[in-house]
Chain A
Amino acid sequence: MHAQTALVDRSAVLDISARLRRFLLCLLVTLCMALPVPLPAETGHGAFEVVAARTEKGEDGYLLSAQLDIRLSAGAQEALENGIPLVIEFQIQALETHVWLWDEVIEEIRHARQISYHALSRTYVVRDIKTGRQQNFRSLQDALLMAGFMQELPVLDYQLLEDDKNYVMRLRGSLDIESLPTPVRLLAYVSSAWDMDSEWHKWQLAR
């Protein structure tokens, strides 16, 4: 129980800290837009969307299978093609629902995949950052499809669950701006073209 509470606090703090920092930077960089440097015009908005997600019971816990539709903005695609790797991050949370209170996060998992372009072989390399496994694709579409696909990823241990309570899973995908090179990061903070986070996709945990 203590571990759960700690988890709640830490994740909440991380979340707020990241949002606050992002807001302040956004404000700062917007102010700095008055600087005498022309910034690249952004065209073509991208967006992430969770098209399907479900959990199945596995041996020790629940396994997640999901598909995130990744549509890169023109800017992001250009960056990718110019050798800048992009990191797609999945944020998976298990929530204990309450009728009168806020839902409580009992487990959170972050899963990241990197897409990069290999110029010599003209392939897009999708790499799972955790496992290091990689796959190469000739087309970007295939690479993005693969990057957004998750199959039977263990997300929730049975031990964390109690019988008489209700649980909800939720998932969202986003582009990890912090992993971008510093100069690009400044742009990414303020440009809506780099804001491709998906909404939370929520579903009931089948018991």
Chain B
Amino acid sequence: MAFLLLISVTGILLNHTSSLHLGSQPVRQPWLLALYGLDLPDIRSYQVGEQWLAGDALGQLYLQGEPLSQCNGSLQGAVALGDLVLLACTRELLLLTATGEVVERLDGDFGLPLPLSAAGQCGDRVCLRSQGQAYLVDLEQLQWLPAVDAAVQWGEPGLAPAELRKRLRAHLASPLSWEKVVQDLHSGRLFGSLGVLLFDLLGVLFIFLALSGLWLWYRPGRGRRELDS
């Protein structure tokens, strides 16, 4: 009964996959992704003042759990710089206002040492780390002066509040769509190769039941035997 319900419901869903937009609906449930050996993109979050900035491995940046902008590489650090926020991605430096407007982007063309691996405070200035070397940032003169690594208070990623993490997860790109999950539920693949075998056996069983039922209902001489008895 449960099997019949399952294949019927999933079959109807598959028939309307376009109108239900199942192909573009991302799966974000960790337990379901784990069944496929997948995971959501790795996220790093940094607190700057009252705000949380985050970035995934694909270069998407988030402010307070909402999509902000793209940067070249993954987020490696975020620090306050006066009224602005400096974000260090692997291959790009971004300067943001408190409300998240990008006011400047700097990359290797401007002499920025790459790849970047951290950002931190060195006194009232900002420092970056690239290939194990610390650099003092001078955005006025566009200079990156070597600094002593030990003197820098490097920003560490933190755990954003649960509400922000939940909001952020709703925006994360997922490698799996609901269409694929429904297809695999319909075929039994979601339960592995044994699932497919089980669904095959149940399929054969239902074919047998249908044919045997038909045969019992219409077997030759059925009417005469009933009259004899």
| B and A form one assembly | no
Q: Which residues of chain B have a CB within 8 Å of any CB of chain A?
A: none
Q: Which residues of chain A have a CB within 8 Å of any CB of chain B?
A: none
